[in-house]
Every structure is written in C-alpha cells, then in structure tokens.
Amino acid sequence: MTIMNKEHEDMRHLGLFGIYKHSYKIILSWRKIFTKITLSLILPLSFMFLIQTQVSNSLFSKILNHSQQIISTPQDTPQFKKLSETVSSEWVTLMAFNLLYLALSITFSLLTTSAISYTISLFYSSINDDDEVVHLKKVMSIVPKVWARLMTTFLCVFAAVFIYNFAAVLVFIILALILNAYAGTQNYAVLGVASAFSIILVITYAVGLFYLSLIWQLSNSVTVLEDSYGFEAMKKSKKLIKGKMGLSLLFFFTIIVSYGLIHFLFKMVFVEGCDMKSVVTIAYGILLLLLLSHQILLAQVSHTVLYFVCKSYHKQNIDKSSDLSSSYLEYQPLKNKDVEVEKYNHV
C-alpha cells in the first residue's frame, strides 16, 4: 500500500500536524499489527493508568477521613489505637499499590515503546508491503533483546531528572530564605526583583522538565533503533532536537495536554463520585479507556516519527547494514550508514 504520494519525500519539513498526519497513515497502513500491539500492551497499560487514579484517590480519601477521626478521638483509648492501626495499614496498602503500579506501568511502557519503534523501522525499511507478514510474535521476540538497553536508558533519565529536581529545590529554598529575610524590611525593590526572578525560575523549571521528558522519549527511539543507550542515547537525542526544539516542545506539550484532559474527564466522573453500577457510567469509562489507548498509540508512533524527522533535518542516515528482513528475526541495532532517512520511499 502506498503511504506517500511521491518518491523520496523529504521528512525534514514535517510540522506538528504533518507528524500526526503521517503517524495516522502509518497506523492505518499496518492497522493489523498495531491493533494487536494495542490489545496486548497498550490497552492493559491504559487500564492500569485509569484504575490507579481511582484506587489511589479512594484509599487516600479513607486515610484523610480516618486521620480526621483520630484528631477528635482521645488518646490512650481502644478506638484511638484501632484508628491509628487502620491508618498505618492504609498507608502501607497505598504505597504497595503505587509501587506495583509503577513497576507494571514501566514494564508495559517499555514493552510498548520497543515494539512500536521496531515495527515502524520495519515499515520504513519496506521489508514488505503488507502488515500481515509482520507478526506480533516475531516483533515481540525483539523486545527481550532491547529490554536491558531501554531500562538502562530509563534509569539514566531518572537519575538526570532526580538531580535536576534536587538542584531546583535547593534554588527555591535559597530564594525563599532571601524573600523571608527581606519580608520585614519593606525593601520593595529587592522584593520585586526576587518575585520576578521567582516567576522566571518557575517557567524555566517547567520548560526544563519538558525538555528532559522530550529527551527521554527520543532516547527510547535511539536505544531501539541505534547502537546507543543510556547517557549516550540521551546525548544523541539532545543533538537530534537542535533545530527542531520549538516543534519538539510543542509536540510534547500537545501530548501532555491530551493525557491531562483524559485524566480530568475520568476524575470528574469516577473520582468525584458516581454510580459505578450505572450503564452510562460504565459506557463512559469504556469510552475513556479506548480514547486513552488510542492516544498512547498515537503518541508512541508520533515520537518515533519525530525521531525520523530530526534525523532527516540533520541529514543523518540510518543504516541497516544487515538487511532488516533478517534482523526482523535476529535483532541488530541500526547504525549510521546506508539507508537514508532524509529521503525515503514506501510503496
């Protein structure tokens, strides 16, 4: 099936809507394999995300309720002791549940990333003209071979985010101490400058966090499709988004907003209180589950397309020195030699 209307289409000029449009074309062209990936990986991931919101809020509400009862209960009474034990047990349950959710969500997220990234590499390599030949079982056989690499990249990004947040907290603490020191001096000039600086810091912090998140997403594609992982993959990702920084941040912002909107719609009905047995409520929940699954699929495909757009912009080639038809059965990271990404052809 023809995905492009002309040969050697240049990807470097794709904008935000162009990336989404091209991603939809890829999904529709190989809809069978992407449907299988969605049902086996993305749907469970979406369900975990939504159920985590519901369960966590329910447990936390119980903790708050019992904590308020403790305040109004005399100490050294059986009721006080029972409430204290209940709150402690609920905290343990909440923490254990969230740790389990974190482990499962990371696992399914990395599985999804590796499966989709490699499937798209097969699409661009023109290994075949029909997605019926690309079996999910064979695609998933690649996953264990990149699992350790993806986990290493994830841990490196996590370390970078931790250091970034730690430094930000230190800066904000110092700034708060300065503001507190000048609060009673009526030195409005200093207070005004400090307040303006605080606003700038908050904006800078948010942009920096977005930037690190974007680096992470591109690093995943680099890890799966190239021979780099960990900090080296992050370094390559940083170089890739140069010249495409505005597009990359705008793209990532739209993804975050879409996730936030779905989370808000779910919380508005299921967390704020509803009749869980209502047919309308159940249908609404299923609709949001499908909507979130669609969004995760689109986001994962679009992240990989963005990777190819950045490679094309920098006129970098992606090599499959061993033919992808063989690497489909025996995974080898793609290197930088023969197969051009800046101009590609799919028939």
Q: Could you read off the pLDDT of 94-107 as tens digits, one per residue?
A: 899 889 988 888 88
pLDDT in 10s for each residue of the chain, 347 residues: 333 333 334 677 778 888 888 888 888 888 888 888 899 889 998 888 888 877 888 888 888 888 888 887 777 777 878 878 888 888 888 899 889 988 888 888 888 888 888 888 777 765 545 544 556 666 777 777 777 888 888 899 899 999 999 998 888 888 777 777 766 566 666 667 777 777 888 888 888 888 888 888 888 888 888 878 888 888 888 888 887 888 888 888 888 888 888 888 887 776 655 555 667 777 888 888 899 999 999 998 988 888 888 887 777 765 443 333 344 434 445 444 433 443 344 43
Report the predicted TM-score, pTM, of the whole model to 2 decimal places: 0.76
Strands, E assignment, the chain: 9-10, 317-319, 335-340, 343-344
Distance CA 37, CA 47 (A): 15
The per-residue pLDDT for 277 is: 61
In the 8-state DSSP scheme, what is residue 110?
A: H
Give the rounded distance of the alpha carbon of 240 from its chain centre: 18
Distance CA 285, CA 153 (A): 34
Phi, psi of 172, deg, nearest 5:
-65, -35
The CB density around residue 295, as the number of other CB atoms within 10 Å, is 17
Two tokens at 58? Answer: 């329910």
Beta bridge pairs of residue 317: 340
78 exposed, middle or buried (CB, 10 Å; 0-12, 13-18, 19+)? exposed
